[in-house]
Amino acid sequence: MLIMDVALRRMRAEDIPQVIEIEKEAFSQGWVGTPFRRELNSRYCRFLVAYQTAPDATPLESATVAATASAPDSSLWARMVSGVKSALRIEADTQDADLAGYVGIWLQGDQAHITEIAVRQQLRGQGIGELLIIGTLRVAYEQGMEEVTLEARVSNFIAHRLYDKYGFNQAGIRKNYYADNREDAVIMTTDRIHTGAYRGKFSSLQERFLERYGTIQIEL
């Protein structure tokens, strides 16, 4: 079993520089900056960030030195800090890099709409994207939403797999949705999340996540 040393909490203003770094890295193709500061103040928007929880975790700059100078450490965070320095060069001198990813959610009527979800490249494939989807669904339940929806590039196979796993179905296509290359978007939407069937599916997915990663820590 892997022990995950990443948890979710609500995004704060001081997180914005790191979130912009993650956004730029993930969406370099046709990147248009999200007005995070404005959206953070909106009651219709929720942002969650995935952050480091290891109590003895070392800030980015010194940890990078430690990771290269000592024996390899297999912990998730050590793997991150050894690879992430170049992606964070802009902020590294003044700020500790402790964020691994984020998700943006708009609450529109009875729909929670995922506007963006991203994980630092060096940390992908280790459950953090899945944790962000679990956090999104918990926000949707807490806010009394009926379903969760999003758009994804038709070519974004990895994201489709993640959404399929959490019961998002293809609900339609938006033609030429992305301005950079006129790629179509697939609209993916869950079934109604308050049905017994969806609640059961979500519970068993969380149980499997716990078995695999050891913990789910989410502060809404």
Ligand X SMILES: CC(C)(COP(=O)(O)OP(=O)(O)OC[C@H]1O[C@@H](n2cnc3c(N)ncnc32)[C@H](O)[C@@H]1OP(=O)(O)O)[C@@H](O)C(=O)NCCC(=O)NCCS
- Enumerate the active-site residues: 151, 163
- Interface residue with ligand X among 19, 81, 128, 216 (CB under 6 A) is 128
CB neighbourhood size of 6 (10 A) = 27
Task: Assess 129 for contact with ligand X (CB under 6 A).
Answer: yes
Task: Assess 80 for contact with ligand X (CB under 6 A).
Answer: no
Task: Give me the least distance between CB of 44 and ligand X, in Å please.
Answer: 20
CB burial of residue 206 (10 Å; 0-12, 13-18, 19+): middle
d(CA 167, CA 68): 41
**Stretch in the footprint of ligand X (CB under 6 A) among 13-21, 61-69, 139-147, 151-159:** 151-159
Task: Give me the least distance between CB of 21 and ligand X, in Å please.
Answer: 13
Task: Give me the least distance between CB of 57 and ligand X, in Å please.
Answer: 19
The CA-based angle 113-139-186, given to 5 degrees, is 25
**Stretch in the footprint of ligand X (CB under 6 A) among 34-42, 89-97, 122-130, 135-143:** 122-130
Of 158 and 171, which has the nearer Cβ to ligand X?
158
Task: Give me the least distance between CB of 135 and ligand X, in Å please.
Answer: 12
Which residue minimizes CB distance to ligand X?
A: 129
Task: Assess 158 for contact with ligand X (CB under 6 A).
Answer: yes
- Interface residue with ligand X among 21, 98, 130, 147 (CB under 6 A) is 130
Inter-axis angle of helices 196-213 and 128-142, nearest 10: 140
Provide the binding-site residues for ligand X, judged by CB under 6 A. 26, 117-119, 124-130, 152, 156, 158-159, 161-162, 165
